[in-house]
């Protein structure tokens, strides 16, 4: 019974359904992210590399024939992540042009060497290969001290073009009042997360009320493309190896 509950809670963290309103303090952000990944994930095909794969929560939403997970070499990553390969944080352990697609989800903000990182993604992609990249815009510092940057839509476009990519689609996830509401729940999470029972009770009670308000108010108020939670970008590699 306990294991079943743990599985439900784990699933709701990345694929929030209605009950996620009561279980996931990041319900609004994760629901917005999932919506874009489901839509753009159809473009991810062939042999696919997931850089910073974690537990591979979105693998089933891609049309790939082979899915390879990559993580930085650490003891914690080897114990808790579902990576197939590990690397030193600089050079990917793959040959040039070996992948049809690359996915990197909520990783770029934790990369202190973005030029090297994107150069490596370009290197391992085939010409015309697709890149699906998600990265926060408005969010708190997290996974400290390994949180280095926030990227605007203009900054991402410039950075990707600099490294040989053409933007195909760009979604601004949760570009409505939900962004404000989500930050309220993120605040509650941060001030209670050291006390698990208090955190869980806060999420189920106050957090769920805030989620409901966010859903309702966001439908009533206009969108704002200048204030949003996440960038989700589908890009294409232009240059060959």
Digit-coded pLDDT (tens) for 200-224: 999 999 999 999 999 999 999 999 9
How many folded domains does the chain comprise? Answer: 1
Q: What is the pLDDT of residues 143-197, one digit of tens each?
A: 999 999 999 999 999 999 999 999 999 999 999 999 999 999 999 999 999 999 9
DSSP H/E element including 89: none
Alpha helices by DSSP H, the chain: 2-14, 20-23, 27-40, 75-80, 114-124, 153-162, 178-192, 196-202, 208-220
For the entire predicted model, the pTM comes to: 0.94
Whether the per-residue pLDDT at 60 is higher than 80: the answer is: yes
Whether the per-residue pLDDT at 116 is higher than 80: the answer is: yes
Whether the per-residue pLDDT at 241 is higher than 70: the answer is: no
Phi (first) and psi of residue 147, to 5 degrees: -130, 110
* CA–CA gap between residue 154 and residue 159 (Å, rounded): 9
Structure tokens at 47: 């042999």
CATH number, position 41: 3.40.50.150
Structure tokens at 215: 């859903």
Hey, which residues does 173 pair with through a beta bridge?
Answer: 230
Give residue 112's domain range: 2-237
Shortest CA distance to 32 belongs to which of 153, 172, 131? Answer: 172
């Amino acid at each position: 019974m306990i294991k079943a509950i743990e599985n439900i809670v784990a699933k709701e963290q990345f694929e929030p359904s209605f009950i996620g309103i009561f279980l996931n303090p990041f319900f609004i952000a994760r629901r917005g992210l999932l919506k874009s990944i489901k839509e753009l994930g159809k473009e991810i095909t062939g042999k696919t590399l997931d850089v910073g794969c974690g537990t591979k929560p979105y693998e089933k939403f891609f049309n790939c024939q082979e899915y390879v997970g990559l993580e930085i070499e650490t003891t914690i990553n080897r114990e808790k992540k579902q990576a197939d390969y590990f690397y030193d944080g600089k050079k990917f352990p793959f040959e040039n042009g070996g992948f049809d697609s690359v996915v990197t989800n909520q990783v770029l903000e934790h990369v202190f060497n973005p030029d090297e990182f994107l150069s490596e993604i370009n290197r391992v992609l085939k010409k015309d290969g697709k890149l699906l990249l998600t990265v926060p815009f408005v969010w708190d510092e997290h996974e400290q001290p390994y949180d280095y940057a926030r990227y605007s839509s203009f900054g991402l476009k410039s950075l990707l073009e600099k490294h040989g990519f053409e933007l195909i689609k760009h979604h601004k996830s949760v570009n409505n009042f939900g962004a404000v509401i989500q930050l309220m729940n993120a605040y509650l999470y941060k001030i209670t997360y050291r006390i698990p029972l208090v955190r869980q009770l806060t999420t189920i009670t106050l957090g769920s009320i805030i989620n409901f308000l966010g859903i309702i108010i966001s439908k009533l108020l206009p969108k704002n493309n200048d204030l949003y939670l996440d960038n989700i970008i589908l890009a294409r590699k232009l240059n060959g190896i």
